[in-house]
Structures are given as structure tokens and as C-alpha cells.
Structure 1
Amino acid sequence: MFQQTFKNFNINYNSLNENNTFSSGDQITGHISFDLTKQTKITSIAMTLTGKASVHWSSGGHGGGRRRRSRRRHFSAKLEFFNLRNVLIQEQSVTGRAAMLQPGTHVYPFMCQLPQGNFPSTFHGVHGKIEYTLTVGISRPWHLSKDFVTELTFVKHIDTNQPDLRAPLSGTNQTTLCCLWCASQPITVTASVEKKAFVPGEIVKVICEFSNGSSQTATLKVRLQQKQAFYTHNKVNRRVVMKNLASVSRQPISAHASDVHTEIMLTIPPTASHTISNCSILVVDYLIEVTLSSCAFPDLTVLCPIILCDTPVHSQPPAYL
């Protein structure tokens, strides 16, 4: 019945920037519009602006059977950052009579403001999400309320002037192979990146220096890893998911090679989400993983933790003597 009476319902809001994102304290303006096919009584039209996070996962009890299903444990948590309501139309307060809307097109402007606060960026993950929505609810006499929802993309701004975000990162890992009383020359890998903070779509220059003291060839691989961590409120239970977002491999490195220097350009996907460190139940981190692997020795890995933010960060200029 609702679809027969209400047609072409839209929630339209005005973009503040080319990325169509919003941040803490931003004002949201726009309008809702719909067509009515007949005269209709309306108790209220209200708009709700919400920000919330939720996680859910299960463990154990895989496979069929009633006993296995009964042993499956479910974990979940929810957070509400804010819930703001604004009434666009309401029944007459004196008479309590519903508003009568005539057939045709109806347009109602709205204006609301995101509260100030340290809210995390929008994110949709494997076992949870952080979302910000505008919901328009239409109430009619003797009918269930009908809700229309549109999602906003929220971005948390960070202070990009922090020195540690512009400083280079570096790490080293080393091993040797032993056979009886003999030991190979050192097998080492050193990796560095020019800064800690990047934006989605940016190219990361990874500088690698390595030596392969073994008698077998080795392969160098660089990967961008996303770590999604989901928690219950007490932090006792958690679920971690690693996702490989990008990778680059080099040609095999010959045996007994030493002091090899190479630079690898790794592109961060433009669709990558921002780092999330300010939500108690959902955390998103990023790692540049540099691995030297061979059948002759265990993988040697160097990890460089980076963050993804919304504002470009320039690397720290070198110090001159």
C-alpha cells in the first residue's frame, strides 16, 4: 500500500567536497522529495542522523548436526556515537489532527549538523562496520512507520603536522644457515619507507637492501597488508582478519648475492579505507610487509606499520650538515 501511495522518494544532500565526505562538526543540508498519488494523512515526517559501530562473529560448531550447531559461540558488540532527531512535519499539537497532504510532488528542505567528537571513519569490514546514516521516517495514522535510509561517508581528520607521520621507517631482519660446524654467510633484508602516513591511491617507495648468503636463490616480495581486528566490549574475545591489498615481487635473487639494492613502487588502492584507531570494538591497521623467501631458509620478514589518512603528508626533509 505504501508503494502505491508514495512514489519516487529521494533523500538529497549537498556535497561539501569533491569526495562527497563529511567530518566532525560539518553541517548537512539538502531536501527530501516524494510524489503522492492520492490525498494522504501524515502523522509525522522525521529525520534521524546516527553514527554507530557493530561487530559480530562466531566460532566453533562448524559443519552440520544439532550438537555442532549448539556448540557454536557468537560474539557481538555495538556502539552508538550519536543519535539526533529532527522533525520536518508533525501532527497539530492543539487538535492532535494529522496533516493532510494533497496529491503531487512534495519537497521538504532539511538542515542538521554532525556533532563535534572523535568519531572513527566509515568502514565496512568482514565482521563489522562503522556507519553514519540519514534516516527519514514517515508515520501515518493506523499504519506502520516507513523508513528510508541513506549512508554518509564520514572521514576523521588527523593532524598531519605530527613529526612521526613524516619521519622515515626502517627495519632489518637477519639469519644464517648452519650445517654441522659450518655456517653460511649472513642472509639479511633491510626495508625502509620515506614516511609513515599516506593517502589512498598514493605510491609508496619501498627501499630494500639484502644479501643472500645461502646457496639457493631467494625471492623478494613486498605486500600491503590490512589488519582488521574486532573486539567484544570487555576485550576478552577478538577476531583478526588479514587482507592482502597489493603486492609486488622481484626476479629471483641469485645465491651468494651481497649488498643488493632495489626500490619497489607499491600503489595503495584508491578504495582503501582509512586507518581506524579510535574505536574500542573495531580497529584497522596497515603494514608494509617485505619478505625474502627461499626453500633454503625460513622467510625473513620486515614490517613497516603505516597509516592511511585523508590528507597528503610530505616526507621529512633530510638533515644537512
Structure 2
Amino acid sequence: MTIKNFSIEYDAINNDNVFTNGDEIKGRIILETSKEMKIQALVFTAKGKARVVWHESYGQYDHRVYWADEKYYEVKHHILREARQDGSEVIRQGRHVFPFTFRIPHKRIPSSFKSSIGKINHKLKAELKQSMKLTKTTKTYFTFVSKGDMDTAGLLDPQYGCKDKKVKVFGSGTMCLDVHTNKMGYQQGEVLQIMAEIKNNSNRSVKPKFTLYEKKSFLAQGHRKLNIQDILKDKAEAVEPSSSTKTMTKTITIPTELPPSILNCSIIKLEYRLKVQLDIKYSPNAEVKLPIIILPRTQATKQQEHNHHRQQQQRSQQPAAAYGFETLGASNYTTWNRAANPPTMDPPPPYEEYPLYPVIYADNL
């Protein structure tokens, strides 16, 4: 086999190996051959694309497929192209390294996402073209998290909802639920504070419940596929019958591994809701739903958390007092879409035969 290795790789720029708008991705295409060979072209491509597809049955013989694609950017760059009259270029035996640099566009691009129905991929690809042979392709995916859109209407506005309920089954009277939150947008790891006011003018006791859930919507060809899943649940003490107005405050910490909301993709939506309900036995629950937008943590916030974690580790390594406390282990959460760090590589050797190419910009696409 003439080609021993054909691969593409990139360098991480932070501990999470995550990129965002405007970041530069530096990497290299590696081609290793066992003997001299001719090629027609070596092409580098960076692409961001979303796709959804699902099947539905409307009877024994009526099966339908709904699908849709959406492309955000696609950049192609010829690393090598035909240089001889016969339309080929000679590559000598050995290991050849072709560096590349690509800058992610500053425009609105949805974050990386993956499910059984839809996905949003950001990938780097290299194609090796040879005469009378199939094109060889190698690719790798990188994790992209879009910068939080602080221009979203109502992002920092207080949220409010209310619900009145009449008790008719096995009881009588009315209930009223008022729910307030300080704002709609929260960063990963931030505390969400909920204030609930309950008026129970019935002869039934009622128990407040709090739920943070995600809502995934997939849209294609005028149809929608919906997936709803609870993330966090909590409850409060029961409010007794015919009691005075009771006000309670509940706090929920947004999980740091929770993926940010996706609101800038026309075929995939990732939304969050806060649901507060009054659990009434033998009767439909009274509930209020408020929108929640999850924003990605800034790099400064992550650095502060990293420094705080290091300080805690240093304290835990100090000698304990006579009656010290056992150190608790770190949480076992898995970071959302965390890509494996690429292998550490030595600096690429000088490659005099082929020039280095400038940064590839995609903002004007």
C-alpha cells in the first residue's frame, strides 16, 4: 500500500477543547507514503452543518421519512493543486506535513449538538485526489459553542406567571399560584432563584413541585418531532387547607454540564423551561411554566472556577487537624460534547517544497 497514513488533526486552545466564534483553529494534514507517488490535488475543507431525519408510520404500508439540512459555512482551500502538464504533482517517499489555519466566522452559528434524530456538526476534512483512483478522505470534528447572544429580547427581564385552580373532585374551593424569577438568561453553573406565592382557599392540602426540563424540537418539511426530558426536580412542604397566603423561595443550580440553549437554528431547537406545579390528588395539577435560556460560561468564569478548584485541592493536601473532615470526591458529571484532546505533536518539520498558506477566513461567506 503506497499511502501508509493520511490524517488531519488540530490543536486544542483550552482545557475543554472547545472553540467559539472568531477562534483560530491550527492543525496539520499528515500524508505518509511508502514510495514516490503522483497526486492531482490535496484539498482542505472546514464546514458547519445541521441535519435532521426521522421516520414515521401511518399504517402498515405508509412509512414516511422527514429530513432537512442547513449549512452555516463551508471553506475550501487547495493545499496542493496540479503543477505539471500531465495534471499531477509528485510526492516523494516519507512523511509530509501540511499546516493549515482556519478562523471560525463571527456570524450566528449554532453550537455542536448530537441526538438520534438531529445533529449539528463542525468538521475539518482533507481530500487526496489521484488520477484513475478513488478520492481518499479523512476528517475530524471539533466542538463549537456559540457565544451567548446578549441581545435576546427579555434575557435579563424578570419572569412572572400565575394560575388559578378550582377544586371540584373530592373537595371544594380555589387555589392560586404566582411564580417569579429574577431573569430569563442564566449561565451554566449559575443559581436560579424561584419565588412562589400560594393561596390555598380550598379544603385540600397541596404540595408545590419544581421541575427544570429541556425541550428538543426537530423540524423538517412542515413537520415537528418533539422530545421533552426532565433535568432537575425538587419539592417543598405541603400547604395546608384553608391556610393564609404562603410565600416560599427555592434555588436551583444550573448544572455546569448542561448544554447552552440553541435558538439560532431553523431545524433544531434546544429550549429549557421551569415548571412549578401544585400537586393535587385526584385532580389535574395547577402549573406555571416560565422560559429559561442557558448561556455558555465565559472563559473568564471558567478560569475563576479553575483557580478556585486548585485552591481547594491545595487546602485538602495540607495536614488535617485532630478531628478533620474527609475530603469529598469530585462530581462524576461528564462535560457536554467534550472532545478528546488531540495527541501532543512535535512541531511540524520545515516543508520547503510547498509554501505555508495564510489564515483562511470565512466571515464573508
Question: Which of residues 213, 228, 238 in structure 2 aligns to 1:242?
Answer: 228
CA deviation after TM superposition for structure 1 residue 191, in Å: 1.6
1:71 corresponds in structure 2 to 62
Asked whether the equivalents of residues 246 and 267 of structure 1 are also in contact (C-alpha less than 8 Å), the reply is: no
1:276 corresponds in structure 2 to 262
Runs of 4+ in 1 over 6 A off after TM superposition: none
Asked whether the equivalents of residues 12 and 18 of structure 2 are also in contact (C-alpha less than 8 Å), the reply is: no
Flag the 1:84–1:163 CA change in 2: closer, same or farther, 3 A.
Answer: closer
CA deviation after TM superposition for structure 1 residue 288, in Å: 0.7
CA deviation after TM superposition for structure 1 residue 37, in Å: 4.1
Question: Which consecutive unaligned segments of at least 5 residues does structure 1 have?
Answer: 62-66, 313-321
Question: Which of residues 244, 251, 257 in structure 2 aligns to 1:258?
Answer: 244
SS in 2 for 1:160: coil
Residue identity matched to 1:96: G
CA distance in 2, matches of 1:132, 1:31: 17
1:94 corresponds in structure 2 to 85
CA distance in 2, matches of 1:254, 1:183: 14
Residue identity matched to 2:63: R
SS in 2 for 1:166: coil
CA deviation digits over 1:27-84, x for unaligned, max 9?
Answer: 32222335444444433321111111111122225xxxxx72x311111111122221
CA distance in 2, matches of 1:37, 1:267: 56
Question: Which consecutive unaligned segments of at least 5 residues does structure 2 have?
Answer: 299-365
1:134 corresponds in structure 2 to 124
Question: Which of residues 170, 190, 193 in structure 2 aligns to 1:202?
Answer: 190
Give the structure-2-normalised TM-score: 0.72
Question: Which of residues 74, 90, 95 in structure 2 aligns to 1:83?
Answer: 74
Residue identity matched to 1:129: K
CA distance in 1, matches of 2:131, 2:86: 15
1:114-125 counterparts in 2 under 5 A? 114-125=104-115
1:1-321 counterparts in 2 under 5 A? 1=1, 5-7=3-5, 9-15=7-13, 17-61=14-58, 68=60, 70-103=61-94, 105-160=95-150, 164-178=154-168, 183-184=172-173, 186-233=174-221, 236-311=222-297
Residue identity matched to 1:11: E
CA deviation after TM superposition for structure 1 residue 88, in Å: 1.8
CA deviation after TM superposition for structure 1 residue 162, in Å: 6.3
**Identity across the alignment (%):** 24
Give the structure-1-normalised TM-score: 0.81
1:316 corresponds in structure 2 to none
Asked whether the equivalents of residues 165 and 196 of structure 1 are also in contact (C-alpha less than 8 Å), the reply is: yes
Flag the 1:164–1:292 CA change in 2: closer, same or farther, 3 A.
Answer: same
CA distance in 1, matches of 2:251, 2:207: 16
Question: How many residues align structurally?
Answer: 298
Asked whether the equivalents of residues 31 and 107 of structure 1 are also in contact (C-alpha less than 8 Å), the reply is: yes
CA deviation after TM superposition for structure 1 residue 262, in Å: 2.1
CA deviation after TM superposition for structure 1 residue 311, in Å: 4.9
Asked whether the equivalents of residues 43 and 140 of structure 1 are also in contact (C-alpha less than 8 Å), the reply is: yes
SS in 1 for 2:27: strand
CA distance in 2, matches of 1:60, 1:284: 25
Residue identity matched to 1:137: E
Flag the 1:71–1:251 CA change in 2: closer, same or farther, 3 A.
Answer: same
CA deviation digits over 1:115-134, x for unaligned, max 9?
Answer: 34222222223421222111
1:317 corresponds in structure 2 to none
CA deviation after TM superposition for structure 1 residue 278, in Å: 2.2
CA distance in 2, matches of 1:280, 1:159: 16
SS in 1 for 2:155: helix
Asked whether the equivalents of residues 245 and 269 of structure 1 are also in contact (C-alpha less than 8 Å), the reply is: no
CA deviation after TM superposition for structure 1 residue 163, in Å: 7.5
CA distance in 1, matches of 2:53, 2:188: 27
CA deviation digits over 1:6-35, x for unaligned, max 9?
Answer: 2483412342x5543333444322223354
CA deviation digits over 1:279-321, x for unaligned, max 9?
Answer: 2222222111111112143111111101112257xxxxxxxxx
Flag the 1:219–1:40 CA change in 2: closer, same or farther, 3 A.
Answer: farther
Residue identity matched to 1:292: L
Aligned CA-pair RMSD: 2.7
Asked whether the equivalents of residues 8 and 140 of structure 2 are also in contact (C-alpha less than 8 Å), the reply is: no
Asked whether the equivalents of residues 45 and 74 of structure 2 are also in contact (C-alpha less than 8 Å), the reply is: yes
